[in-house]
Amino acid sequence: MKIRASNLNFFYGSTQALHGINIQIPAQQVTAFIGPSGCGKSTFLRTLNRMNDTIPGTRVEGQVELDGENIYAPDTDVVALRQRVGMVFQKPNPFPKTIYENVAYGLRVNGLVQSKAEMDERVEEALANAAIWSEVKDRLHSSALSLSGGQQQRICIARALVIRPEVLLMDEPASALDPLATQKIEELILKLRSTYTIVIVTHNMQQATRVSDQTGFFLLGKLIEFDTTEKIFHTPNDTRTKDYITGRFG
Amino acid sequence: MKAASQRYTSDVVLAAATGSAVLVILSLLLLLLVQIFSGGLGQISWQFLSTAPSKGGLAGGIWPAIFGTMLLVLLMTMAAVPMGVATALYLHEYARADAWLTRLVRAAVANLAGVPSIVFGLFGVGFFIETVGTKIDNIFYDGDLLYGKPAILWASMTLALLTLPVVIVATEEALKAIPLDHREGSLALGATKWQTIVRVILPQALPGILTGAILAVSRGAGEVAPILFTGAAYYLPFLPAHPTDQFMHLGYHVFVLATQSPDVNATLPNLYATVLVLLVLTFLLNIAAVIVRARVRAKLRG
């Protein structure tokens, strides 16, 4: 198991957003989280790279282990954790820099390369892995903001991949994109599956069935059911899961 | 129909009232500019711009005042911008918005902006000259009078205090406009908070910081009260070469020519010309900063 959460509670101020989450996420597979808005699926995703630390007034109880080590232990190096657990956000958020500088950013801040040649190589590799190299190779030094939304999101994926994380968290990565761009992102997820442990939050159930191996269903801050995607969408154990996937609410 | 036409009439009346208010302001501005240009333009010559005044301002030029003003504004900017940016960064990026210290600092900044400039001048004398300067002299120069007297250093520091709120507010507005996405995007890549600030936040805030600097320069270049006691000289034939030297200043020179001259009427052409130079200089400083800002913005947009 790559990631294991045990009795995880999460609070925004006095509001409890996650209630006793227990889950084991396997390595090199795609795990999807579904559920209605405000069910805690994104909040849970953001506990996995401690992104919620940046929000004042939040509090975590319980633990999350990455390869058996509790990432909420007091001596955890959060910066090092985020190098191992990359993240792609809902809205494409490239920096107002060139395409090259966007991708090179992670290498620069973490001091991962020694030479310009090595930097070029890693940037190209990441852009190729994110399936956007052929589209941008002739314009690496123009602004990333000049690209379309779908291209920007793949730049953001390349930016996350360049530091070679072990886990890739994706928070509704295609929700701001058109169907064609969405399809490209989904193809990319399937391609990356063999190399990375991918955890994706989506409000699109078809997307979960298309890309994921496991699916977890969240409701009101609780993980209601977690099983293979096949099982969740065909023979769920919990009636609430069944009601949600058949469209009775949400 | 009557009601409708009444509403229509009130519309016209209001348009006329606001329009004429604009007209009055514009004509006053025009009048001012015409008077300054017509009175001063004939007096402007290379000689006027490049030599020192003589005969109590009746003859000679204003070069020491031009130089002094530019150096003063430069030193002031060098002090006010880093301090203001640092304060804004602390307030927006580090401090908790609801903490009492944050509120106190914000209240202090707001109040600082409302302090009359002459008070800054007196504060400059009391703090920079009498306290800091005298201490430096006692500790490093065996009590010889070097820093404990009016100087361009202290004048620019005093002026920096006056313009500080402008820089802080402009920088904070710029920081507020940067989306949370960019901060999170950077942190999620393993960047530290400091790396995020230096590499992502500050470059994007730069146009806003420059706006603050522009406003500070505009405000600072024309202020006389803060430098009156802290470094401006009535007449100084040489240029300041050391931070502890005094300096001539265009604004103060205008005051001197207008009120202290033995023959006020005879100095009138020089007075007009000095005012004109002060106006143009402030304008040029503004233009330069606006051009820099436009370039930075264009670069950010790509």
Q: Rounded to the nearest 5 degrees, what angle is found at the Cα of A7, between the Cα atoms of A4 and A8?
A: 80
User: A86 vs B203: CB contact, 8 Å cut-off?
Assistant: no
Interface of A with B in 73-92 (CB under 8 A): 79-80, 82-83, 86-87, 89, 91
pLDDT at B2: 58
Judged against a pLDDT cut of 90, whether residue A236 lies above it is answered with yes
Q: Rounded to 5 degrees, what are φ and ψ at B112?
A: -55, -40
User: Which pLDDT band, with edges at 50, 70 and 90, does A143 fall under?
Assistant: very high
Judged against a pLDDT cut of 90, whether residue A106 lies above it is answered with yes
Question: In angstroms, rounded to a whole number, what is the distance separating the alpha carbons of residues B80 and A61?
Answer: 45
Question: In angstroms, rounded to a whole number, what is the distance separating the alpha carbons of residues B300 and B302?
Answer: 5
Facing A163 at nearest CB: one of B183, B190, B195: B190
Write the secondary structure of chain B as one string of H (helix), E (strand) and C (coil).
CHHHHHHHHHHHHHHHHHHHHHHHHHHHHHHHHHHHHHHHHHHCCHHHHHCCEEHHHCEECCHHHHHHHHHHHHHHHHHHHHHHHHHHHHHHHHCCCCCHHHHHHHHHHHHHCCCCHHHHHHHHHHHHHHHHHHHHHHHHCCCCCCCCCCCHHHHHHHHHHHHHHHHHHHHHHHHHCCCHHHHHHHHHCCCCHHHHHHHHHHHHHHHHHHHHHHHHHHHHHHCCHHHHCCCECCCCCCCCCCCCCCECCHHHHHHHHHHCCCCHHHHHHHHHHHHHHHHHHHHHHHHHHHHHHHHHHHHHHC
pLDDT at B302: 61
Q: How many residues in total does chain B contain?
A: 302
Q: Does A56 touch chain B (CB under 8 A)?
A: yes
Substitution target from B189, B193, B196 for chain A, most A beta carbons within 10 A: B189
């975590």: which residue's tokens? A60
Q: Are A34 and A203 spatial neighbours (Cβ–Cβ below 8 Å)? A: yes
pLDDT at B58: 76
Tell me the chain A residues in contact with residue B184 when contact means C-beta distances shorter than 8 Å.
51, 54, 87, 89, 93
Question: In angstroms, rounded to a whole number, what is the distance separating the alpha carbons of residues A130 and A188?
Answer: 7
Bridge partners, A25 (sequence order): A3
A168 three-class SS: strand
pLDDT at A21: 95
Interface of B with A (CB under 8 A): 96, 179, 181-192, 195, 199-200, 203-204, 300-302
Structure tokens at A76: 């955890």
pLDDT at B264: 79
Judged against a pLDDT cut of 90, whether residue A137 lies above it is answered with yes
pLDDT at B237: 78
A18 three-class SS: strand
pLDDT at B234: 87
Average pLDDT over residues A24-33: 95
Bridge partners, B42 (sequence order): none
Question: In angstroms, rounded to a whole number, what is the distance separating the alpha carbons of residues B269 and B37?
Answer: 11
User: B191 vs A79: CB contact, 8 Å cut-off?
Assistant: yes
pLDDT tens per residue across span A167-223 = 999 999 998 888 888 998 999 999 999 999 999 999 889 999 999 999 999 999 999
ipTM: 0.91
A219 three-class SS: strand
B292, burial (CB in 10 Å: exposed 0-12, middle 13-18, buried 19+): middle
Crossing angle (nearest 10°) for helices B63-89 and B264-301:
40
pLDDT averaged per 10 residues in sequence order, chain B, 302 residues: 73 92 95 92 90 80 92 94 94 87 90 91 94 92 88 95 93 92 94 95 92 87 91 87 92 89 83 92 84 83 66
DSSP state of A69: E
User: Which pLDDT band, with edges at 50, 70 and 90, does A248 fall under?
Assistant: confident
Q: How far is CA B37 from the centre of its chain?
A: 23
Structure tokens at A194: 């063999």
Give the mean pLDDT of chain A.
93
Smallest CA–CA distance from B297 into chain A, residue:
A96
Facing B189 at nearest CB: one of A54, A82, A145: A82
Nearest by Cα to A223 from A247, A194, A199: A199
Tell me the chain A residues in contact with residue B94 when contact means C-beta distances shorter than 8 Å.
none
Q: Does A55 touch chain B (CB under 8 A)?
A: no
Q: Rounded to 5 degrees, what are φ and ψ at B247?
A: -150, 160
Judged against a pLDDT cut of 90, whether residue A5 lies above it is answered with yes
User: B184 vs A145: CB contact, 8 Å cut-off?
Assistant: no
Structure tokens at B242: 């050391």
Task: Return the percentage of chain A with pLDDT > 90, whole number.
Answer: 88
Judged against a pLDDT cut of 90, whether residue A12 lies above it is answered with yes
Count of beta carbons in the 10 Å neighbourhood of residue A168: 23
Q: Are A199 and A168 spatial neighbours (Cβ–Cβ below 8 Å)? A: yes
Facing B182 at nearest CB: one of A82, A83, A95: A95
Task: Return the percentage of chain A with pLDDT > 70, whole number.
Answer: 99
Question: In angstroms, rounded to a whole number, what is the distance separating the alpha carbons of residues B47 and B54?
Answer: 12
pLDDT at B127: 96
Smallest CA–CA distance from B192 into chain A, residue:
A79
Count of beta carbons in the 10 Å neighbourhood of residue B217: 23
Tell me the chain B residues in contact with residue A163 when contact means C-beta distances shorter than 8 Å.
189-190
Amino acid (1-letter code) at residue B302: G
Tell me the chain B residues in contact with residue A172 when contact means C-beta distances shorter than 8 Å.
none
Question: In angstroms, rounded to a whole number, what is the distance separating the alpha carbons of residues A137 and A155?
Answer: 12
Amino acid (1-letter code) at residue B158: T
Write down the pTM of the prediction.
0.83
Smallest CA–CA distance from A159 into chain B, residue:
B189
Q: From the CA of A237, how many Å to the nearest CA of chain B?
A: 36
